[in-house]
Structures are given as C-alpha cells and as structure tokens.
Amino acid sequence: MKTLLELSRLIDAVNIFVGRTVSWLILVAVIVSATNALVRKLFSISSNAWLELQWYLFGAVFLLIAGYTLLKNEHVRVDVLSQRFSPRTRVRIEIFGVLLFILPASIVIMWLSWPVFMDAFINNEQSSNAGGLIRWPAKLLIPVGFALLVAAAFSHLIKCVGYLRGMCADPTQTANSESSEEHLAEEISRIAVEREQTPPNRKA
C-alpha cells in the first residue's frame, strides 16, 4: 500500500503542475479575445485563426485541468444524501463511483479519441473555415485530458482505500486553502511513516 500511496503522490504532483500551468491559458484566452474584439471594432480586421485560437485555449483549459479539478474535489457533486452518511461510508461511495463511472467512461473516451487524433494528424487536417488553424492539436487535447483524468481517478481510488485502512487522510474533504493538495500528500506520507514505526499490538 505504501508503494501505491507514493504512486498517488506522483500522479497528484503531475496533475498539480499541469493544472497550475494550464490555468494561465485562461488569461491568454482573455487577452486574445479582447485583442481580437478591439482590432475588429477599430480596424474592421478579423481572422478565423484568432477566433479558433480562443476555442482551442478554452478546450485546453477544460480538458487538461479535469484531473486537477478532481484532485481538489471541485467537480459538481450531488451530496444531498451522502452528507448524511459517515466519512467511511462516503469514501466507500467514492470508490463505487470511481470504479463504476469515472474510470470506465474516461478510459473509453480516451481510447476512442486516439484514432480520431491520429487520423487528423496523419492527414494534417485543416479547419473548414478560411484561414483557420490545423485541427490535430485540438483533437490531441481529448485523449491527453482524459488520460490525466484517469490518472487522477486512480490516485483518488488509492487514497480512498488508504483512508479505509487508516493510512491517509480523508481524500473526499473539499479543499479550503491553496496548499491543500500538498497538505494531503504530506498527511499521507506522515501517516504511512507513523504506521510503519508503530509496532503492531500484541495480545497477551
């Protein structure tokens, strides 16, 4: 279990890096959108390439940060019933949801989107709009984004099992601070080390 928790920390570190890096694309998209609007209004100049770039940036943010969003427990949830249950019951529901919904759906989408990307890449697919961008970078975002989500779901599953075994903190708690993900990773390591150092209880 310790090895799996270390793997979980590595996956989380990758998603944290990707999430924080890609989030800057929101600012880039705003700048591109504002500049494009000003140029169009002031000089009557417009470009499909700049318009499509905005779509690409939005798609990159939406897809590549999905794993980071799961790590921070910020996806939309319907917790009306689960909040009435004990923490351990909620974690069991999480495990059920990951195994039955998140992982299967994400793996299928990742698997099916790869040939679509490869076809666009091999044929150097271009936008149907005049002056538009090439299409394969946008289509690559789909398998990559869902691969990150699959990894995040697997990491979440590991932490849920670790919590039930008393080896890490509750991973279903919503983050309230900027450093919450690092705190969770540190808590996992601390509890794992304490568990190793504490000798098992022996019955007389």
The answer to whether residue 150 is domain-embedded is yes
Q: Is the pTM of this model over 0.85?
A: no
Is 197 domain-assigned? no
Residue 72 maps to a domain: yes
C-alpha to C-alpha distance for 151 and 135, rounded to whole angstroms: 26
- State the residue range of the domain holding 116: 2-182
Reported as a single tens digit per residue, the pLDDT across 160-170 is 988 888 888 88
C-alpha distance across the termini of the chain, in Å:
28
Classify residue 203: in a domain, yes or no.
Answer: no
Pair 191, 167: CB distance under 8 Å: yes
Residue 194 covered by a domain: no
Residue 20 lies in a domain: yes
Residue 73, Ramachandran bin (φ over 0: left; ψ between -120 and 50: alpha; else beta): left
Q: Can you read off the two tokens belonging to residue 82?
A: 């689960």
> How many other β-carbons are positioned within 10 Å of the β-carbon of residue 133?
18
In a domain, 23, yes or no: yes
β-bridge partners, 134: 126
Tens digit of each residue's pLDDT, the chain (204 residues): 778 888 889 999 999 999 999 999 999 999 998 988 888 888 877 788 888 898 899 999 999 999 999 988 877 766 667 677 788 888 888 899 899 999 999 999 999 999 999 999 999 888 888 878 899 999 999 999 999 999 999 999 999 988 888 888 888 775 444 444 555 555 555 555 565 565 555 443
Give tens-digit pLDDT for 106-151.
999 999 999 999 999 999 888 888 878 899 999 999 999 999 999 9
In a domain, 122, yes or no: yes
Query: Tokens representing 134?
Result: 């090439």
Q: Quick one: residue 49, left, alpha or beta (phi over 0 = left, psi -120 to 50 = alpha)?
A: alpha
Q: What is the SS3 assignment for 143?
A: helix
DSSP single-letter state for residue 100: I
Number of domains in the chain: 1
